[in-house]
C-alpha cells in the first residue's frame, strides 16, 4: 500500500467536496493499494461551446486526482504537495455521461511524485491520458 495511512472514500471525498472539485462534482469512487479512482459528470459546467467535454475540465480532473493522491502519501503535518507540471493528450470526445479517472504512480520519491491518470468514458474507452508531476515540500 502506498498511502501514508488507511483512508476511506469518505476521507477522500471530504477533500474533494471543496473548491473547484466540488463545483465540477468530482467524486472519489475507489481507493485501492496503489490507485485512486474518481468520476466527473459531463454536464454543461464542463463542456466547451461545441457541447463536448472541455479539455481543461479533463486536466482539472487529472490534476485534482493526482494531487489528492500525493497528499494521501505524505504526512500532511510535515509536508505539503503542489503540482509542478501536467500534460494531457485528449484522445476521444465525450458529449455526456460520466468520465472516470484512474490515477496510478509512476514515481514516488521523497521530493516529487509522478502520476499517470487515464480518463475513460462509460464504455471504458480512453478519453484522455495525463501525466502529473507533484513537488513534495516541507511545511515551514
Q: Is 63 a catalytic residue?
A: yes
- Around Cβ 83, how many Cβ atoms within 10 Å? 16
- Radius of gyration for the alpha carbons in the chain, expressed in angstroms and rounded: 14
Q: Is the dihedral of CA 74, 79, 84, 88 positive or negative?
A: positive
Q: Which of 63, 77, 85, 116 is catalytic?
A: 63
- Residue 29 C-alpha cell reads as 469512487
Contact 119, 48 (CB under 8 A): no
Largest CA distance in the chain: 46
DSSP for 26-37, written as a single string? -EEEEE-SS-EE
Catalytic residues: 63
Amino acid at each position: 500500500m502506498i498511502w501514508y495511512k488507511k483512508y476511506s472514500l469518505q476521507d477522500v471525498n471530504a477533500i474533494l467536496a471543496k473548491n473547484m472539485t466540488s463545483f465540477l462534482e468530482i467524486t472519489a469512487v475507489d481507493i485501492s493499494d496503489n490507485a485512486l479512482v474518481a468520476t466527473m459528470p459531463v454536464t454543461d459546467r464542463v463542456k466547451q461551446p461545441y457541447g463536448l467535454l472541455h479539455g481543461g475540465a479533463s486536466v482539472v480532473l487529472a490534476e485534482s486526482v493526482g494531487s489528492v493522491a500525493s497528499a494521501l502519501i505524505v504526512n500532511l503535518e510535515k509536508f505539503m504537495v503542489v503540482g509542478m507540471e501536467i500534460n494531457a493528450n485528449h484522445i476521444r470526445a465525450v458529449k455526456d455521461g460520466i468520465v472516470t479517472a484512474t490515477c496510478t504512480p509512476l514515481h514516488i520519491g521523497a521530493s516529487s511524485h509522478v502520476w499517470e491518470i487515464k480518463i475513460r468514458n462509460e464504455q471504458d474507452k480512453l478519453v484522455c491520458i495525463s501525466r502529473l508531476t507533484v513537488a513534495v515540500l516541507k511545511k515551514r
